[in-house]
Amino acid sequence: MSFIKEFYEFLKVRKKYWLLPIIIVLVIFGGLIVLSQGSAVAPFIYTIF
């Protein structure tokens, strides 16, 4: 959790709020790929990329 707090402080100090949506989308895609490995949904997800 300290990494998330430190990253948030970096965004706040540097005024880089536009990075936040990019990071959120990357985390969602990463979680989707990790959770779907070994399931029936995996072939459909890999066709997106």
Beta carbons within 8 Å of 23's beta carbon, 6+ residues apart: 7
Q: Quick one: which of 42, 21, 25 has its CA closest to 33?
A: 42
pLDDT at 38: 65
pTM of the model: 0.58
CA-closest candidate to residue 23, choices 36, 34, 13, 10:
10
Please report the pLDDT score of residue 42 as a whole number.
67
What pLDDT shows up at residue 25? 92
Q: What is the pLDDT of residues 1-49, one digit of tens each?
A: 788 899 888 888 888 888 889 989 999 988 887 777 766 766 776 677 6
Residue 46: Cβ within 10 Å count: 11
If phi > 0 it is left, if psi is from -120 to 50 it is alpha, else beta; for residue 38 that is left
